[in-house]
Structure 1
Amino acid sequence: MRILILGAGQVGTSLAEALASEANDITVVDQDAQALALLAERLDIRTVAGNASHPSVLREAGIDDADLLVAVTQSDQTNLVACKIARSLFRVPTRIARLRSADYLDPAILANDNFAVDHAICPEQEVTDYIAKMIEFPEALQVVEFAGGRVVLVGLRAGADGLLAGKPIRTLREHLPAGVDARIAAIFRNHRQIEPDGNTVVAPGDEVFLLAASGQIRRVLLELRKAPAPARRVLIAGGGNIGARVAERLERDYSVKLIERNRGRAAAIAMQLSRTLVLSGDATDENLLTQENIDETDVFLALTNDDEDNIMAASLAKRLGCRRVLALINRRAYADMVQGGPIDIALSPAQVSIGTLLTHVRRGDVARVHRLRRGAAEALELIAHGDAQTSQAVGRRIDQLPKIGGARIAAIVRRAELGVLMPQVGVLREAYPERVIIPHHDTVIESGDRVIVFCTHKRQVKEVERLFQVAAGFL
């Protein structure tokens, strides 16, 4: 696939890294020639320096032959204009734009008659949603959803106090109540992947990815560790775009304080938020954190625009007694270094938002992509199509599928064949409920199934995509 990426910031760079190793023809456009040179040294890609909204620059970058344009510069206006030009002048089939302002997310504005954006992404909002989910599951290292929230995949450290501690995985079903089922999709021990089977014993400290229906996941997590007390008090460092969004999202359900260094910005945020206590100060100030009872705070979120400040503030909050700390860190080397040490969660904004971009790039009918373990692993939600003649997957039992080492079908979401009448806005309407299936070796994949596959390494993704692609000519 010929892909044109506009913007060599964190999101554009992460996307280029993810796609360059998958036999795609990648060109990156940015005005920063030095950033492009550094990117070209590491990746087998082409780069063009220039303004991404100029037709001449886009033509030099090869837009005439592009299959996909991804506009992820820092400017909403540049991204919108580039998408409009890509459709009007060059007929690029698919156009994706990063938009930070909610004002531009109106479908009428994005329609083909206007800016011609097929898919709009807002990384700041995706990071906000992700952080909210992490606070909802305070024991988790990572939480992602599939099938519109019907299925939840949680990554966490196994504890010695879990119900499954010291027992083989096959006893999991013996512990769970009737009607509750789950799947341990992967285990990583000392950073090495272990292929789980019924005889595998989960050891304390293992990084375990566990999947279940959303209504059952909390009960299932007790198998791996005792449930911590729910979070109530949250302290946010940084009142930028993400910090303010997170505060606004959380203040309805939690007691929230926010520390912002810039006094003018703090005053503006205080007017914007209704329940959050906004403080003007430095989140790396030990006296300030102590005054704000950091030792009684459940979650500390370091969300400034500076990696070093976030690391320092989160490390200090942890040392002063905060139960759990999360730091927003853009540099991957920093994130790998601090997570699991002084900082509980090192969150990369680019890694959170890149899943949405990959959803539109993957081959086959891919409904959702999540990057896991900071990009090393990946989980996909694919929609099965075809029949036994046109598909390698449909109409076959799990144990009849081609073996892909490291890839594991973790769950299936299946739509009911018969509709039922359900009240909607005071009127009974026909609906087709979906149920979550934790598959076993004899489960047969049906057309229309939403199949969730865990890949312990991203190199397995292409094989999984091919498995669910239908033969040429299928309608």
Structure 2
Amino acid sequence: MKIIILGAGQVGGTLAEHLAREENDITVVDTDGARLRELHTKLDIRTVTGAGSYPMVLRQAGCADADMLIAVTNSDEVNMIACQVAHTLFRTPTKIARVRATAYLTRKGLFAHEAVPIDVLISPEQVVTDHVRRLIEHPGALQVLEFAGGLVQLVAVKAFYGGPLVGQDLAFLRRHMPNVDTRVAAIYRRNRPIIPRGNTVIESDDEVFFLAARRDIRAVMSELRRVERDFRRVVIAGGGNIGERLAEHLEHSHQVKIIEHSLERCTQLSERLDRTVVLHGSATSKRLLEEENIEDCDIFCALTNDDEVNIMSSLLAKRLGAKKVLTLINNAAYVDLVQGGEIDIAISPQQATIGSLLTHVRRGDIVNVHSLRRGAAEAIEAIAHGDKQSSKVVGRAIGEIDLPESTTIGAIVRGKEVLIAHDDVVVESGDHVILFVIDKRRIRDVERLFQVGLSFF
């Protein structure tokens, strides 16, 4: 596939890295020549220096015969104009744009095909807000991902010493919980992946990824770690778009406070939010946190645009007694450094956005892609089509499917029915198949698996 990426920042660069490894023809456009040279030395890609919205620059990048344009520059306006130019002058089939500003996103008719012709609109703030919201709804989870419209969830938890499953093999889980069907998709032990088998023993501190129907998630989590009470008191550091959206979602079911350093922004927030307490001040102020009884806080969410403020305020809140801290970190290199110590959960907005973008780049009928372990693995939802003659999966039991190495099927969704994967489950046309791919090099093989051909005999 011939893909043009506008913007060589963290999202654009990481996306180029993902796609260049998967037999795609990638061109990256940016105004920063030094950044492009750095990317070019690492990856087998073309680069073009210039403004991504300029027709001549797009022509030079190969827009005339490109399959897809992905606009992820730091400017909403450049991203939108680039999609318009690509549509009008080059008839580019698929145009994806990252747009941050709420002023644009709330105008529903703006992105109609006859207006600004963007096929897929990505809002990083909404992606991150949804991610944080799911974590708040599942105390103890490190990551919560949804498939098939929320019928199935993939949850990552750290196995704690003393949990009923710790020290037991996975076969014990089925015997111990006969009425709950679940599938452990992967285990990470000291940052190394393990393909789970029935005789795999779960150890303390393992990061366990499991799939289950939404209704069964809490029951399975309680087997891996001590049960945590629901989060009720939430403190949000940062009243930007993410902080405001999260507060708006939570304020009718939780006690929410927002700390914001801008007085003007505080005024706006107090007018827009109904039940949220808006506090003017610095989230790194020990006095302010103590005055607001941070020790009674169930979860402290640091969601400002400043990594240093997020990290320092999280560490301070934890030391002053906050039960959990969740930290937004823009510099992906910091995420692994801070998570797991005093900071319970570190979130990279770039990785969250990458998953949304990859959903629309994958071949075959791929309807959902989630990037896991900072891009090291992927969870994929694919729709099976065809019949036993034209498909490699339809009409076959899971145990008969020739899956790529390091790939497991976790669940199948058939209509509203959730079928946790077992070797004797037969895949039917129209099934949503949820797979866990530990080795990213196998992604193309997974895509081929779900492509329909004339015959495979």
Normalising by structure 1, we get a TM-score of 0.92
Corresponding residue for residue 285 of structure 2: 285
Q: Secondary structure at the match of 1:358?
A: helix
Q: Is 2:436 the partner of 1:454?
A: yes
Q: Which residue of 2 aligns with 1:84?
A: 84
Structure 1 residues 34-66: Cα deviation after superposition (integer angstroms, max 9, x where no partner): 333333333322222222211111111111121
Q: In the alignment, is the contact (CA less than 8 A) between 2:408 and 2:435 conserved in 1?
A: yes
The reply to whether residue 167 of structure 1 matches residue 168 of structure 2 is: yes
Q: Alpha-carbon deviation of 1:177?
A: 5.0
AA matched with 1:28: V
**Percent of aligned pairs with the same amino acid:** 56
Q: Quote the residue 2:451 is aligned against.
A: 469
**Amino acid in the other structure paired with 1:46:** R
Query: Secondary structure of 1:112's match?
Result: coil
Q: CA deviation at 1:403?
A: 3.8
CA distance in 1, matches of 2:118, 2:335: 33
**SS of residue in 2 equivalent to 1:446:** coil
What's the offset of the Cα at 1:165? 2.5
Q: Which amino acid aligns with 1:154?
A: V
Task: Tell me the SS of whatever aligns to 2:95.
Answer: strand
Structure 2 portions without partners, runs of 5+: none
Equivalent runs, 1:39-78 vs 2, <5 Å: 39-78=39-78
| 1:473 Cα offset (Å) | 9.0
* Matching residue of 1:153: 154
* SS of aligned partner of 1:374: helix
SS at the partner of 1:378?
strand
Aligned twin of 2:228: 228
- 1:120-269 map, 5 Å: 120-178=121-179, 180-269=180-269
- 1-side partners of 2:281 and 2:178: how far apart? 50
Q: 1:389-422: CA deviations, max 9, x gaps?
A: 111111111121114221000000012xxxxxxx
Report the secondary structure of 1:316's partner residue. Answer: helix
Are 1:404 and 2:404 an aligned pair?
A: yes
State the secondary structure of the residue aligned to 2:444: helix
More displaced stretch, 263-272 vs 134-143: 263-272
Displacement of 1:251 in angstroms is 1.4
Q: Deviations over 1:251-309 (max 9, x none)?
A: 12211111112222222222222211111111112222111111111111111111122
User: In structure 1, what residue type is equivalent to 2:158?
Assistant: R
Report the alpha carbon displacement of residue 108 of structure 1 after superposing the two structures with TM: 3.7
| Aligned-partner residue type, residue 428 of structure 2 | E
Question: C-alpha separation between the residues in 2 aligned to 1:63 and 1:473?
Answer: 34
Aligned to 1:222, the other structure's residue is in SS state helix
1:335 paired residue number? 335
Q: Deviations over 1:97-123 (max 9, x none)?
A: 112234544554323222211111111
Show the counterpart of 1:414. 414
Distance in 2 between residues matched to 1:214 and 1:38, nearest whole Å: 43
Tell me how large the CA RMSD over aligned residues is: 1.7
Determine whether 1:439 maps to 2:421.
yes
Cα offset, 1:377, TM superposition: 0.9
Q: Which moved more, 1:221-230 or 1:203-212?
A: 221-230
Return the TM-score normalized by structure 2: 0.96
Out of 370-379 and 250-259, give the one that drifted further: 250-259
Match of 1:26? 26
Deviating more after overlay: 137-146 vs 263-272: 263-272
Whole-Å separation in 1 of the counterparts to 2:454 and 2:306: 49
Q: Output the CA distance in 2 between the equivalents of 1:244 and 1:102.
A: 11
Secondary structure of 2:274's counterpart equals: coil
Distance 1:402 1:281 in 2: 58
> C-alpha distance in 2, partners of 1:275/1:33?
48
TM superposition shift of 1:365? 0.4
Whichever residue aligns with residue 163 of structure 1, its letter is P
1:353-373 CA-to-partner distances (Å, cap 9, x unmatched) read 211110110011001000111
Q: Provide the residue aligned with 1:96 in structure 2.
A: 96
Deviation at 1:77, TM superposition (A): 2.5
Amino acid of the structure 2 residue aligned with 1:234: V
Aligned residue for 2:117? 116
The answer to whether the aligner puts 1:310 opposite 2:310 as a matched pair is yes
Q: Is the 8 A contact 2:22 2:443 kept in 1?
A: no
The aligned runs of 1:337-356 (5 Å cut-off) are 337-356=337-356
SS at match of 1:216: helix
CA positional deviation for 1:248: 1.8
- Which residue matches 1:430? none
Conserved 8 A contact 2:152-2:212? yes
SS in 2 for 1:89: helix
Partners of 1:239 and 1:307 in 2: how far apart? Answer: 15
Query: Structure 1 residues 215-224 or 29-38, which shifts more?
Result: 29-38
Q: What displacement does 1:144 show?
A: 0.3
Cα distance in structure 2, aligned partners of 1:62 and 1:473: 35
State the 4+ residue runs in structure 1 displaced beyond 3 angstroms.
101-108
